[in-house]
Amino acid sequence: MWKYNREEEFLKIVNKEREKILRSLYIIDMNNRVSDEKLINNQKELIDEARTNNDLVNFVLDKHTMDSLEIKKKGVHNIVGSYESDLIKEYKSEISKPNTHVYYKNSRNGMYNRTLQDDITYYKNLREIIVMGIDIYDFAIGLSNYLDEINKDVKILISRSTTNLKESFYYLNSLLDDRGICVVENNEYLKQLEKLYKIRK
């Protein structure tokens, strides 16, 4: 006799929702040390668009204890429980919204967070990842390597207007292009690139 399995049915629903996710944002190190209004506004433009399309919005935050090795290398910063380690106030209300994750890292590269790696694997139909925020270079390279490792073909895009990258556009392109990472100058070019790749209509 068939018996209703609540857990199994719940997992079916969860998996169906996961299959709908085509696009994901990763916002790196937007802690209270950041006060660049233009940068935040450019990021919010993409976050608002992501909410409209039911995309994933992921915050990756730097948090350390006093015995963290990175503290010994770089000095005291973003200690757990401190004001500066917290997400900026402009994004506080985003945390409670659907399709939102918050990950913490104890090194420069948030891709070493095992839960974050697992979540990338779970979203089987993911076609595009946009990386933005502070000091994103290590994360973007780590992300590209991880996608190669799990044989997942996903476009990685960066809009310079949503990051603190200071290098020239041509230098970044030559550096990241062979990693499968596309760098554009601003959000308008990003939208054009998405149309080119047929990620967005």
Residue 6 lies in a domain: no
In a domain, 164, yes or no: yes
Structural domain includes residue 9: no
Residue 200 confidence (pLDDT) above 70: no
**pLDDT score at 171:** 76
Query: Which residues, 6+ apart, have CB-to-CB distance to 93 below 8 Å?
Result: none
Burial 146-168 (b: 16+ CB within 10 A, else e): bbeeeeeebbbbbbbbbbebeee
Residue 45 is part of a domain; what is its CATH number?
Answer: 3.40.50.850
Find the domain containing 84 and state its range: 24-196
For residue 125, is it within any domain?
A: yes
Whether residue 2 is contained in a domain is answered as: no
* β-sheet bridge partners, residue 176: none
The domain total for the chain is: 1
pLDDT at 146: 97
Domain membership flag for residue 124: yes
At 164-191, the pLDDT tens digits run: 988 777 778 777 888 889 999 999 999 9
**In terms of pLDDT, which residue wins out, 4 or 169?**
169
Kindly tell me if the per-residue pLDDT of 2 is higher than 70: no
Q: What is the pLDDT of residues 115-135, one digit of tens each?
A: 999 999 989 899 999 999 998
Kindly tell me if the per-residue pLDDT of 77 is higher than 90.
Answer: no
Is the residue at 106 inside a domain?
yes
Q: How far is CA 198 from CA 130, 147, 161, 181, 201, in A?
A: 15, 20, 22, 16, 6
CA-based nearest residue to 198, from 66, 22, 14: 22
> What single-letter DSSP state applies at residue 137?
H
The pTM of the full predicted model, rounded to 2 decimals, is 0.88
Residue 174 resides in a domain: yes
